[in-house]
């Protein structure tokens, strides 16, 4: 079988792989991006119209990464002429100690935020019921997922990357510390590095090549609701219930949500869906979650979460193999910054914070 020679093969044309291809190509690397499905498919974790963007984390590592991502999102908008990031403000509420940790993290890193009383929050967002004080962070908002993936691939191609859809990778063969052979049904690519940004497929594709932590792949299913107020007036939001409470038991600990213009208010649970094989998903909603959400539409939203035991991403390298997986339902906001991290790993081996290592 004949092979093409490139500097880097990026496997996985979702948001993360597309961001890695962009960041590598703009540095001058000869890059090919291989996606197993057609453009715009719904089998992974990067499709749809809305994802939350926020800086609200309890630690400076994630806050700094989100700040970097925001700069790259704006740069990507300029490069492609596409609107991707809409700032709506964000609000977290509920009787849970995590909110105090969020506020402390924002204060320590100088991120704007302030507390609102239940009455103040309810007057501002009458579509949400507030029983506790609420933490407002005005720099939060939403990203358009589908447009983001398209923009990342467009920017990658403009910088010289070759983007190929409907090209499944069948195997990755390590030839040495600086050489790898990536096999597809139609041929092979010989490269110095491979970036496997395949998330739910990581165990299948690179589980024998790198020491992955345990990965739990689940099918998640948020729902859209008609908005009482105009969608433009809604913040991104999170509601955490008191630990051990009846509400926490009924609603899987809490809910998240945001507006999806033209579709309503997207509301969902975080990482509680049934485990699934990404190659054999049935897309059938789990009835318990639908009952808890009081689902109003006939067509469910469906995506996958790939979750690590500590909910931190895997961004690491062994030999010529760079891996990105385990985004645990909160990775999309960071995507262009993660692309930069993966480019660093591929080009010179610079590693990010140890919490993202294989063996943390």
Distance in angstroms (rounded) separating the CA atoms of residues 270 and 258: 14
pLDDT tops 90 at residue 2: no
Tokens representing 100? 């105090």
Q: In terms of pLDDT, which residue wins out, 258 or 224?
A: 258
Q: Give pLDDT tens digits for 126-168.
A: 999 999 999 999 999 999 999 999 999 999 999 999 999 999 9
Query: What proportion of the chain, given as a percentage, has pLDDT over 90?
Result: 81
Residue 287's pLDDT is what?
Answer: 63
| Parts of the chain belonging to CATH 3.30.9.10 | 88-140+216-307
183 with 170: CB under 8 angstroms? yes
**Highest-confidence range of 62-76, 225-239, 286-300, by mean pLDDT?**
62-76
Q: Look at the block and give the residue holding tokens 């490069």.
A: 79
Continuous segment of H or E residues that includes residue 268? strand 264-268
Q: In this structure, which topology does domain 3-47+147-215+310-356 adopt according to CATH?
A: FAD/NAD(P)-binding domain (3.50.50)
Q: Which of 146, 15, 143 is nearest to 70 (CA)?
A: 143
Continuous segment of H or E residues that includes residue 64? helix 60-80
11 with 171: CB under 8 angstroms? no
Query: Is the torsion defined by CA of 107, 110, 113, 114 positive or negative?
Result: positive
Q: Give pLDDT tens digits for 306-319.
A: 999 999 999 999 99
Distance in angstroms (rounded) separating the CA atoms of residues 186 and 168: 9
Q: What is the mean pLDDT of residues 78-94?
A: 98
| Parts of the chain belonging to CATH 3.50.50.60 | 3-47+147-215+310-356
pLDDT band at 298 (very low <50, low <70, confident <90, very high): very low
Q: In this structure, which topology does domain 88-140+216-307 adopt according to CATH?
A: D-Amino Acid Oxidase; Chain A, domain 2 (3.30.9)
User: Which residues are within 8 A (CB) of 29 and not within 5 positions of it... i.e. 6 or more apart?
Assistant: 7, 8, 343, 346, 347
Q: pTM here?
A: 0.94
pLDDT band at 222 (very low <50, low <70, confident <90, very high): confident
The mean of the pLDDT values for the chain is 93
Residue 299's pLDDT is what?
Answer: 43
76 with 152: CB under 8 angstroms? yes
Q: What is the mean pLDDT of residues 190-213?
A: 98
Residue 55 sits at the vertex; the CA angle it makes with 222 and 128, to the nearest 5 degrees, is 45
pLDDT band at 292 (very low <50, low <70, confident <90, very high): low
pLDDT tops 70 at residue 266: yes
Distances (CA, A) of 278 to 282, 302, 311, 326: 9, 12, 19, 14
pLDDT tops 60 at residue 223: yes
Residue 283's pLDDT is what?
Answer: 73
Q: In terms of pLDDT, which residue wins out, 276 or 324?
A: 324
pLDDT band at 226 (very low <50, low <70, confident <90, very high): confident
């Amino acid at each position: 079988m004949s092979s093409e020679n490139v500097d880097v093969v990026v496997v996985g044309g979702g948001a993360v792989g597309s961001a890695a291809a962009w960041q590598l190509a703009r540095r001058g690397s000869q890059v090919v991006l291989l996606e197993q499905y057609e453009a715009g498919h719904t089998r992974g974790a990067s499709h749809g119209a809305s994802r939350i963007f926020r800086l609200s984390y309890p630690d400076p590592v994630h806050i700094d990464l989100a700040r970097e991502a925001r700069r790259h999102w704006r740069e990507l908008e300029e490069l492609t002429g596409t609107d991707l990031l809409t700032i709506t403000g964000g609000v977290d509420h509920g009787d849970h100690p995590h909110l105090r940790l969020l506020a402390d993290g924002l204060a320590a890193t100088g991120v704007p935020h302030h507390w609102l009383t239940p009455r103040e929050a309810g007057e501002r967002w009458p579509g949400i019921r507030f029983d506790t004080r609420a933490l407002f962070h005005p720099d939060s908002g939403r990203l358009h997922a589908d447009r983001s993936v398209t923009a990342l691939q467009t920017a990658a191609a403009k910088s010289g990357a070759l983007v190929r859809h409907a090209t499944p990778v069948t195997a990755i063969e390590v030839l040495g510390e600086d050489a790898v052979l990536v096999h597809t049904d139609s041929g092979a690519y010989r490269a110095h590095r491979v970036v496997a940004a395949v998330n739910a497929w990581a165990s299948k594709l690179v589980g024998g090549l790198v020491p992955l932590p345990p990965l739990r792949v689940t099918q998640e299913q948020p729902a859209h609701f008609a908005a009482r107020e105009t969608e433009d007036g809604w913040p991104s939001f999170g509601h955490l219930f008191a630990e051990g409470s009846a509400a926490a038991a009924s609603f899987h600990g809490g809910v998240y949500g945001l507006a999806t213009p033209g579709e309503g208010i997207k509301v969902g649970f975080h990482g509680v869906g049934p485990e699934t094989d990404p190659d054999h998903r049935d897309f059938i909603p789990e009835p318990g979650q639908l009952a808890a959400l009081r689902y109003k539409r006939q067509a469910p939203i469906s995506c996958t979460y790939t979750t690590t035991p500590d909910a931190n991403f895997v961004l690491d390298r062994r030999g010529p193999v760079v891996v990105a997986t385990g985004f645990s339902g909160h990775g999309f906001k960071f995507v262009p910054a993660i692309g930069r991290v993966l480019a660093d790993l591929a080009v010179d081996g610079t590693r990010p914070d140890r919490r993202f290592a294989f063996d943390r």
